[in-house]
Amino acid sequence: MAAMFATFILQITIRYTARAGWISAHFPFLDTAHFGWTLEFCLALWVWIICFCNSFIVRERDHVTFDLLYLNVNPSLRKWFAVFTGLAVCGGFLWSLEPTWSKFYILRLKKTATLSALLGDWVRMRDIYSVYVLFLVAVACRYAWRVIHVLRFGAESDLHHFEEMIHKPTREANQTDAT
């Protein structure tokens, strides 16, 4: 995020200094022609941040869920809901792995439009988007592990963070108790 933010600030700085012709005349390194890579670099970093973080950092309970039905059924049915959705997500991600890999085979030939000025001619589009394959495999493994966990222990662990939110005292309740 820091690299993306720094690149974004650089991009804004160059954009606004380009309007003043005297700046690029006195500081030739601030010529806008040298900074076309910033947009593509931000986009590549964004892809890596999203895919990598969703693969390894973001917890399942931090995702947005539509679980009104799921939370209101009995525990045995909730277990089978969790198993079915876990298998569906795992299977869907693994099924999409082959078409994705086929597309990556083509992307090994395609160079980036502007990043070669920054990183050299060896960077290909396949390298930039390779984190997506990692994302597919990691999320499929996470959901396979979730299916195993739910089959062994049930789906009751899904409810714990809701109980924490319910039993967590609010600021208003603490102020009322203090008066």
Per-position pLDDT tens, the chain of length 179: 899 999 889 888 887 777 776 766 677 666 666 677 888 888 889 999 999 999 998 887 777 777 778 878 888 898 999 999 999 999 999 999 999 988 888 777 777 777 777 777 777 888 888 899 999 999 999 999 999 999 998 887 665 555 555 556 555 555 555 55
Question: For position 163, what pLDDT does the model report?
Answer: 55
d(CA 72, CA 50): 32
Question: For position 112, what pLDDT does the model report?
Answer: 77
Is there a contact between 84 and 77 (Cβ–Cβ < 8 Å)?
no
d(CA 65, CA 52): 20
Predicted structure pTM score: 0.73
Is there a contact between 56 and 131 (Cβ–Cβ < 8 Å)?
no
Question: For position 12, what pLDDT does the model report?
Answer: 85
The helix/strand/coil state of 111 is strand
Question: For position 168, what pLDDT does the model report?
Answer: 61
Question: For position 50, what pLDDT does the model report?
Answer: 94
101's enclosing H/E stretch is helix 97-107
Give the bridge partners for 124, in sequence order: 111
Question: For position 137, what pLDDT does the model report?
Answer: 96
Question: For position 176, what pLDDT does the model report?
Answer: 56
What does the DSSP 8-state code read for residue 124? Answer: B
Question: For position 30, what pLDDT does the model report?
Answer: 66
93's enclosing H/E stretch is helix 75-95
